[in-house]
A and B are shown apart, each in its own frame.
Chain A
C-alpha cells in the first residue's frame, strides 16, 4: 500500500477557483488564468511508498508549500484528492482528520511556527500533549527529540532566545517527538548554517535507516534534494515537471527547465558508481590459468584483467607482463600474481569516492556490490565525462 497519494490535485487562490481549474484542465497556463486567481498547484499526482523520502524541489513561488499543506489537509485542494494511508482526506470528518494528524502525520514548518509563549521543551512536547501522553512521559520523549537535534540544555528557554537555526531544529524536534509514520518537512533545513545543515541531513538519513519513516521533504536546494531524496519531484510554476530518482533527473532531464536546474549540481555527490560503470573488458576466474588470462587480454586488447572467484567475488587485478612471466616460470595459481594498489569501490558510492582510487592507477576502478562481487568498472575517461556539465539545448 502507498503511504501517501495525490491524484490530480489543484489549488487555486482567488475569486473563481472552479473556473480556473476548468481552464487549466483544458491546457491553460498559470499566466492564462491570472484573472481568475493564483494557480499555486496544478494537476499534481504522485505516490509515496512507506519508508520513502520523497523530495519536492522548485524555485520560490512554485507551489511547494501549498502542495505540502494539502498533504495533511491543512488546505483543501480546489480539485483532486489526497489519500493518506487508507484515508481520503477530502471525505474524512473533521474529527477523523484531527485523529489522523495526531497519530499519523506531523509537519515541520518553513517559518518554524513555534508557540512563542512556551518554553522549548513545551514546544517539543506540544504534539504529545495533544496525544494525551502523560506529563513525565511527555518531558522524557520531548527531551530525547531535543537531544537528537542537538538542543539538549535549552529546554527552559523561550523560542525568542534562540537563533533562527536553533528554532528550526525545535520545529524538527517537535515533529520527531510526535513520532508519526509520515513526516512533512517544508524547507526544514533552510535556516541552518551549512555545517549544521550537513549534519542534520546525515542525521535524517541515519534516522531514516533505523526508523524508516515516510518523508515528504521540500527544498529549493538541488544538492540537498539529490542527497536526501529517494525520488525527486521538480516543480515549476505550480506543475510537477518531472518525477524520478536523482540519477534519472541528472542524466535524463525531462525538459530544459530541469536541465537548467541540474546544470550546476555537484554531481560527484549525487551520481553513484553504478550510474557510470561499464562492463570489465577482460575477466578471468581463479580456476583458469595464465594462458586463459592472456587470451582474454589479447581479445579485449587490454593490458590487465580482473580476477574473480567462482562466485564472481573480486580478487584483484592481473597485469599482462606478470602473467607472461608466470607462464614462463610455469606458475598456474593466478591469485599469487595479484597486484596491490587498486581498491574497489562500492556500487552505491558517490562518484566523489571514486576519484581517489582512480588517481592511484591508470586502470579502470573495479566496482563491487555488498557481497564483494565485481559488477563493473569505471574507466577514468568515463568518470571525467560524467563530471562535465550537462549540455543544455538552446
Chain B
C-alpha cells in the first residue's frame, strides 16, 4: 500500500534548481545567448544572404568534391525542389542552425571522447551523463532551456547541442579505443610522445569511426529542428509546427520534404568526407 501522502517532489526541486540557476548565472547565460545569436546570424547570412542559385551551386560543388557528380546533380535537383515548394529561406535557417549546433557539439564531443578513450575514470564518469542526455525525451529539456534562454534560435541551438552531443563523444572514444594496440605500441617503442601518437596514429586510424560520429551528430541536430520550431527558432520547424496546428497537410508535407532533402544531402556529404580520409583510402587499397 502506498500512503496517500507519499510523494517525492523531484519536479519541484528541479524547477527551483533551474530558477536558482537562471538567477545566479544570469550574466553567463546572457553572454552565451549573445554569442550563439551572433554566430547563428552570421552563419545564416552566409546561407540566406546570397541569391539562391549561388548557394545551391556552392553546396552542389561541395557534394561534387566530397563524393562525385551523381550526388552533385542530385543535390542540385533537391535544392530546386526546396525552392519550388517555397521553403528556401526556412531551409537555409535550418542549415545554419544545424551547422552552428553540430560544430559546437563536435567541438565539445570529440575532445571529450579522446579524453574518455585515454582515461577509464573519465569514461565511467561520462557514460551515465551521455545516457541521460540521449534518452531523456528532447521535449523535456527544452522546457528549462526555454526558461533560461526564452524564445528564438538560441534555445533551439542549446537543446540541439545537448541532444546531439552524445554520439560525438561515444564514437570518438570507441574509434580510439579500437585502434590496433600493437600499432600504438609501435609508436611508444620508437619513442613517440603520447600527444604525437594521438595525432599521428590514434586519431587518423580512428577517423572512419569518428566520421560516423560526426554524421550521427549532424543527423540528430537536424532531427531536433522540428522540435526547436516549437520554441520559435526560425527554420523548417516553424511550418511543420503551424501545419500541425492548422491540420494543413500540404504545408506539412512541403516542409517535411525539405527536411528530408537536407538530411540526405548532409548524410551523403559527410559519408563522402569520411571515405576521403587516408585510412579509408588505405583500407580500399587492400581491395584493389
Which A residues have a C-beta under 8 Å from some C-beta of B? 69, 72, 74, 98-103, 106-107, 109-118, 126-127, 130-131, 158-161, 174, 178
Contacts and interface: CB of A to CB of B under 8 A. Distances in A.
A160 B286 contact: yes
A328 to B, nearest CB: 76
Contacts of B283: 116, 160
A102 B279 contact: no
Given A160-B286, A161-B286, A114 B183 contact: yes
B191 interface: yes
A159 B185 contact: no
A111 B182 contact: yes
Contacts of A107: 186, 189-190
Contacts, number: 73
Interface in B172-209: 180, 182-183, 185-186, 188-193, 196, 200-201, 204-205
A116 B281 CA distance: 10
B191 A109 contact: no
B191 A98 contact: yes
A174 B266 CA distance: 41
B111 interface: no
Contacts of B183: 113-116
Contacts of A100: 191
The majority secondary structure among interface residues of chain B is helix
Given A74-B185, A107-B190, 15 more contacts: A69-B185, A98-B192, A101-B189, A106-B190, A109-B186, A109-B189, A111-B182, A113-B180, A115-B200, A117-B278, A130-B190, A158-B282, A160-B282, A160-B285, A178-B190
Contacts of B189: 72, 74, 101, 106-107, 109
A101 B279 contact: no
Nearest to B190: A127
Contacts of B201: 115
Nearest to B207: A117
B211 to A, nearest CB: 14
Nearest to B201: A115
Interface of B: 180, 182-183, 185-186, 188-193, 196, 200-201, 204-205, 278-279, 281-283, 285-286, 288
Contacts of A159: 282
Contacts of A111: 182
B82 to A, nearest CB: 38
B191 A113 contact: no
Contacts of B205: 116-117
Nearest to A184: B189
Nearest to B287: A160
A101 B190 contact: yes
B24 to A, nearest CB: 42
7 contacts: A101-B190, A113-B185, A117-B281, A118-B278, A127-B190, A130-B196, A131-B191
Contact of B285 (A99, A112, A126, A158): A158
Contacts of A106: 189-190
B188 A74 contact: yes
A159 B186 CA distance: 15
B192 to A, nearest CB: 5
Nearest to A101: B191
A98 B285 CA distance: 33
B186 to A, nearest CB: 4
